[in-house]
Amino acid sequence: MNLNRQLRLKARPAGVAMPGPDTWEIVEADVPEPAQGQVLVRNLYVSVDPAMRGWIRPAPTYIEPVPLGGVMRAGTVGRVVASRRADFAEGDHVSDVAGGLGFQDFGLSDGSELLKVDPLRAPLPSYAGGLGLNGFTAYFGLLEIGRPKAGETVLVSSAAGATGSVAGQIARIKGCRAVGIAGGPQKGRLVREVFGFAEAIDYRDGNVGEAIADACPGGVDVFFDNVGGGTLDAALMRLNRLGRVVVCGTMSQAGANGEAVRAHLRLALVHGRMEGFIAFEYASGFREALDELLGWREQGLLKAQEEVVEGFDVLPECLDRVFAGKNFGKMVVRIGQDAG
């Protein structure tokens, strides 16, 4: 390939509108040459993440927004095709969970944010999900903030998703009883039969609060929350004394009017601890986390599911599906074939 396709941000969606086909444009540019200290990576897989909506809004959050005309930020997995660094060789497979390489065929890196990955230990798409940023988010959020103890009950929202499914499985590995909240019977079966949760709650079927009470008769010790909103309210009502709430995401409020205060937050203040986090705060531990996640996978203790789609113009459709809860497992876009 002599040209570098790039997905660039053309326009910011108005207000809380979902990104659409007019949000981005595909541009062909020259393939860059690595300077001394750089590597050139051929991106093969691109991670689709809810955080992408925040990355294209004008106001910075924990990271500066993607500039208009800039290449869309995205976590990627690819292959080194040229290197001017001693620690990376042509043919090495790498993941860039920070998204610096971006949604393009070829990207340059100084290597500081790249992790070498082994396609013989796990399929490359897995390094864009459960063995990538989603896995690291679950790993550090649960273990560093949730601090589960054997015998405790860990409740996870969006339990069929790429992050929630790993969080629940780690809870199980640590000797806890994992209960997952997901949407629909098919996702419930995935949560129980593939990911090994003890119980699965369908938030679309009746009263979530009553379902949590039934599934967690001894209360909730750790709530790993990817959703917010009414699900958070319901979980807080079952939070045990000294319980912990890990605030990982607020997908239910993606299109809300900005109301962030929940009716039962006082219960968290009285009974336990509620804390949010950014996975990149733990970046120095990503290599260690990856090695442990891979070890659990090889022991058959950790499973992941990726939904891989192809194309360079499918990001709006993929994001729509993620926010509507229509994806099964981690959504990944393949933009290249591995020649390694």
| Domain membership flag for residue 340 | no
Same domain, 51 and 144: no
Measured CA to CA, the distance from residue 340 to residue 336 in angstroms comes to 12
| Domain membership flag for residue 13 | yes
Question: Into how many domains does the chain fold?
Answer: 2
| Domain membership flag for residue 293 | no
DSSP string, 130-157: TTSHHHHHHHHIIIIII---TT-EEEEE
Amino acid 234: pLDDT? 92
Q: Let me know how long the chain is.
A: 340
| Domain membership flag for residue 290 | no
Measured CA to CA, the distance from residue 148 to residue 163 in angstroms comes to 16
Same domain, 112 and 187: no
Amino acid 77: pLDDT? 98
Same domain, 149 and 226: yes
Amino acid 152: pLDDT? 98
Element (H, E) at 229: helix 229-236
Same domain, 11 and 147: no
Token match 């599934």: residue?
A: 215
pLDDT in tens, the chain (340 residues): 679 999 999 999 887 778 888 999 999 999 999 999 999 999 999 999 988 888 998 887 788 999 999 999 999 999 999 999 999 999 999 999 999 999 999 999 999 999 999 999 999 999 999 999 999 999 999 999 999 999 999 999 999 999 999 999 999 999 999 999 999 999 999 999 999 999 999 999 889 999 999 999 999 999 999 988 889 989 999 999 999 999 998 765 554 444 444 555 556 655 678 898 999 999 999 999 999 999 999 999 999 989 999 999 898 889 888 887 787 779 999 999 887 5
| Domain membership flag for residue 339 | no
The CA angle 130-48-335, to the nearest 5 degrees, is: 100
Domain with 223, as residue range(s), is: 134-280
Same domain, 9 and 104: yes
Dihedral Cα 85, 89, 92, 98, nearest 10 deg: 0
Domain CATH for 123: 3.90.180.10
| Domain membership flag for residue 291 | no
Element (H, E) at 48: none
Domain CATH for 236: 3.40.50.720
Amino acid 2: pLDDT? 79
| pTM (two decimals) | 0.92
Q: Residue-wise over 109-144: b if at least 16 C-beta within 10 A, else e? A: bebebbbebeeeebebbbbbbbbbbbbbbbbbbbbe
Same domain, 146 and 221: yes
Same domain, 269 and 311: no
Same domain, 70 and 158: no
Pull the structure tokens for residue 192: 């129980």
Residue 162: closest CA among 251, 72, 231, 256? 251
| Domain membership flag for residue 289 | no
Measured CA to CA, the distance from residue 231 to residue 224 in angstroms comes to 11
Amino acid 254: pLDDT? 52
| Domain membership flag for residue 139 | yes
Report strand pairing: 76-83 vs 39-47: antiparallel
For residue 312, the one-letter residue type is: F
Same domain, 150 and 106: no
Same domain, 63 and 168: no
Computed on alpha carbons and rounded to an integer, the radius of gyration of the chain in Å comes to 20
Q: Where are the alpha helices (DSSP H) in 48-200?
A: 51-55, 133-140, 162-173, 185-189
Amino acid 258: pLDDT? 43
Same domain, 246 and 262: yes
Same domain, 139 and 267: yes
